[in-house]
Amino acid sequence: MDEDRYDRQRRIWGEDGQEQLRQAKVLIAGAGGVGSEIIKNLALLGIGTLIIIDMDLIELSNLNRQLLFRKGDIGDFKAEIATKRAGEINSEIKIQFFNQKLQDLSNEIYITADVFISALDNIPARIFLNQKAVLLKKPLIDGGSEGFFGHVQVVIPQVTPCLLCHDIWSRSEEKFKCSYAVHPRTPLDCALEGRDKFYLQFNRLPDPENGEHIQTVYEYALAHAKKYEIVGLTLQIVKDSLRGTVAALITTNAIIGAVMTNELLKILLKDVLIGEVKLIPLTYYQFNGLTESGWTIPLNRNEKCPVCGLKQIEVEVTSSIPLIQFIHQLDTYLTFELNAPLILKEGVILYREASISEGKSLPQSEQERLKENEIKPMIEFFNDGDTLFLKDEILGIELWVTLKFVNQDEGGMT
């Protein structure tokens, strides 16, 4: 009978534990391979309220590993169909869905959730959700898979490291690879070269959700493909390369989804003793499906983390280098890649990414001032020991940077 549907799991955590699950509200970002597994798990467990967020449409290539979708769903929104199927699995739970970017959601949606789950396929969205979790002090469970491999990280704000405390995955592969620049063999090689040319032209990586950026990268990639007589380049290949689309297996997705679900249970049932065992969340877990082995990596918080730490770093720099060179080299001091840096001193903007400036319709005189600033030496703006304010206007990360001037032979930025 329906009232007995949770009988087997009640035997583990009792009626009080099941009631805690019924009262829980979990936000799931990403309804793809890993996300589908988690949504199915949470529906079966009887988690009271699910908030499913995904702006993507269902494609044919999803059907080998995303169990909530059918061929007739192609072209529909993942979040909407996942909500429908989860409701069919368990009609007792409440489900909300949003076919939107995380950045476009009302803050109230995040505030009402008890736990965030990140089953996302791109770094900017992960970084955004990580920031939101730290700001609102919400536990975050992040996971992903590639082929036979996967990872899970649990973030308990102010207790365990956040996603940017360590440079584990937050950087893209090398921005410049000579092999595909001079010896491209595949359409993907051309797409990566297009991405690199975009970076050289605009001093930032392309936004995988920006149609104009995608088209520009495609045009660069197409020119590279024609030069080396490589056929088969498509806009979809370019999109996949920018979003980091990777090989995927339903078996790995199921394992990673299960581990993430177990971590959620540990968080929600932290006050419920299970066999007198204290539930301790993982910090970082890796899985290797080729050897069927998994291992945990103990991580400590980074007090200099730009998200959950002191939000202040010290940078050694030669006072004679141009401002633009300083900006390009800031990445070496950070655990993430800057996309659209904004630099202020005492409230005055010294640098703003050109694409952002144009989008804000700044007066021509202001744009010219900012452009002229780029080639001026640091000593014209700062003294030794000065502090500047740095913000990435795409990622939303903010921190203070204290400058320490050094001679060229002492190291630092040169």
pLDDT in tens, 269-284: 987 766 666 667 788 9
Band the pLDDT of 347: cuts 50, 70, 90: confident
**What pLDDT, on a 0 to 100 scale, did the predictor assign at position 137?**
93
**What pLDDT, on a 0 to 100 scale, did the predictor assign at position 156?**
94
Domain boundaries, the chain: 2-164+246-296, 178-243, 312-410
Q: Which CATH architecture has domain 2-164+246-296?
A: 3-Layer(aba) Sandwich (3.40)
Q: Which CATH architecture has domain 178-243?
A: Orthogonal Bundle (1.10)
CATH of domain 312-410: 3.10.290.20
Q: CA quadruple 88, 90, 93, 98: dihedral positive or negative?
A: negative
Specify the range with the lowest mean pLDDT, choosing from 3-7, 25-29, 242-246, 332-336.
Answer: 242-246
Check whether 80 has a pLDDT greater than 50: yes
Mean pLDDT calculated for residue range 301-314: 82
Single-letter amino acid code for the residue at 120: L
Check whether 96 has a pLDDT greater than 50: yes
Q: What is the pTM of this model?
A: 0.74
Check whether 405 has a pLDDT greater than 60: yes
CA–CA distance, 337 with 206 (Å, rounded to integer): 12
Check whether 1 has a pLDDT greater than 60: no
CA–CA distance, 305 with 311 (Å, rounded to integer): 6
Round the average pLDDT of the chain to a whole number and report it: 87
Specify the range with the lowest mean pLDDT, choosing from 77-91, 125-139, 372-386, 389-403.
Answer: 389-403
Full strand arrangement of the beta sheet holding 115-118: 94-98, 49-53, 25-29, 115-118, 140-146, 149-155, 284-288, 293-296
Adjacent-strand bridge partners of 25: 49
Mean pLDDT calculated for residue range 338-349: 88
pLDDT in tens, 226-271: 988 899 999 988 988 887 767 788 999 999 999 999 999 999 998 7
Helix 211-227 crosses helix 235-243 at what angle (to 10 degrees)?
120
CA–CA distance, 247 with 322 (Å, rounded to integer): 42
pLDDT in tens, 211-225: 899 999 999 999 999
pLDDT in tens, 12-69: 999 999 999 999 999 999 999 999 999 999 999 999 999 999 998 998 888 888 899 9
- Please, which contacts does 353-362 make with residues 24 or more away whose CB atoms are closer than 8 Å? 353/203, 353/204, 353/393, 354/202, 354/203, 355/202, 355/204, 356/393
∠ CA 59-61-62, rounded to 5°: 70
Helix (H, G, I), strand (E, B) or coil at 404: strand
Bridge pairing between strands 115-118 and 140-146: parallel
Mean pLDDT calculated for residue range 179-188: 71
**What pLDDT, on a 0 to 100 scale, did the predictor assign at position 365?**
86
Tell me, yes or no, if the two domains 2-164+246-296 and 312-410 fold the same way: no
Band the pLDDT of 183: cuts 50, 70, 90: low
Mean pLDDT calculated for residue range 329-354: 85
Band the pLDDT of 377: cuts 50, 70, 90: very high
∠ CA 389-206-138, rounded to 5°: 60
Mean pLDDT calculated for residue range 99-127: 92
**What pLDDT, on a 0 to 100 scale, did the predictor assign at position 248?**
83
pLDDT in tens, 172-181: 444 334 455 6
Closest alpha carbon to 90 in 51, 40, 53, 35: 40
Mean pLDDT calculated for residue range 188-198: 87
C-beta separation of 209 from 120 below 8 A = no
Mean pLDDT calculated for residue range 396-404: 87
